[in-house]
Amino acid sequence: MSDIWAIIPVKEFDGAKGRLSSLLSAPQRRILAETMLTDMLDAVAGSRLLAGVLIVTLDPHATALGKKIGARIVTDGARDGHSGSVNAGRRILAAEGRGGMITMPGDIPATRAGEIDAVLSEHLAAPSFTISPAHDDLGSNAVACSPPESVPLRFGDNSYFPHLDAARRQGIEPTIIRQPGIAMDIDHPVDLAAFLRLPQSAGTRTRVLLDELGVRALLAERGIA
């Protein structure tokens, strides 16, 4: 395992996290999206095993955050959805002859650098595929491929088991490794409640922001615990 690059797709922050609109205003959701990405990039920057970071985005704030950690910014595919953005990044890495890639979303703020390194440590020699699923076993929150385009990827609300099948169709037995921080993506109000209960959320910028916004009380008012 060597020369693994991270691909982080980031949608524009305006209108971000619409499924939290019953709880948070548009400006609050925008700040939340930026804060979650900041936490996520802290983890990426702290990884000992990544060769580099490639962020696929058109958002100026995401671009600035990426440049702070020395990430390469790519705009091709940035408006083609999650799958399109990741695949655009994979094409670049493959064309450059990179050994592999790991992709993660920007909304898993409890992720720690050690978790990323744990996933990469389990990643086998090419051709290989490693996945760390979401807490509900629906989403694919971290996916590593060597070489970068070894397995077709299509992300969505129910991509975990289809990705396992896609790897096996390529003759690759997937490696599965679960990590609590990577698993905790935030899309719905119930996810915010689960994040606040997660021990690893302590000390994150996202946790501080949610406390400042009074999210615990807002969730309690709606009977979400």
Band (pLDDT 50/70/90 cuts) for residue 66 is very high
| DSSP per-residue codes, 18-47 | GGGTTTS-HHHHHHHHHHHHHHHHHHHHH-
pLDDT score recorded for residue 225 = 77
Strand pairing category for 128-133 and 100-103: unpaired
58, 60, 66, 68 alpha-carbon torsion, rounded to 10°: 160
User: Which residues on neighbouring strands pair with residue 73, listed in sequence order?
Assistant: 55
199, with CB counted inside 10 A (0-12, 13-18, 19+), is exposed
| Mean of pLDDT values over 161-179 | 98
Tokens 């700040």 appear where?
31
Rounded to an integer, what is the distance from CA 58 to the centroid of its chain? 17
At residue 22, what is the residue type? S
φ and ψ at residue 6, rounded to 5 degrees: -85, 135
Buried b (16+ CB within 10 A) or exposed e, 141-170: bbbbbbbbbbbebebeeebbeebbebbeee
**DSSP string for residues in 48-76:** SS-SEEEEEE--HHHHHHHHHTT-EEE-T
Query: Per-residue pLDDT tens for 134-165?
Result: 999 999 999 999 999 999 999 988 999 999 99
pTM, rounded to two decimals: 0.96
Q: What is the pLDDT of residues 71-118, one digit of tens each?
A: 999 999 999 999 999 999 999 999 999 999 999 999 999 999 999 999
Please compute the mean of the pLDDT values over residues 44-73 and round it to a whole number. 98
Residue 1: pLDDT over 70:
no
Reported confidence tier of residue 61, pLDDT bands at 50, 70, 90: very high
Give residue 157's pLDDT: 84
50 in the Ramachandran plot: left (φ > 0), alpha (ψ -120 to 50) or beta? beta
Structure-token pair, residue 85: 């953005």
Mean pLDDT of the chain: 96
Q: What is the pLDDT of residues 207-224, one digit of tens each?
A: 999 999 999 999 999 999
Domains of the chain: 4-221 (3.90.550.10)
Predicted pLDDT of residue 148: 98
Compute the residue count for the chain: 225
By CB neighbour count within 10 A (0-12 exposed, 13-18 middle, 19+ buried), where does 129 fall? buried
Enumerate residues 6+ apart whose C-beta is below 8 A from 69: 41, 44, 45, 53
The 10s digit of each residue's pLDDT in 121-133 is 999 999 999 999 9
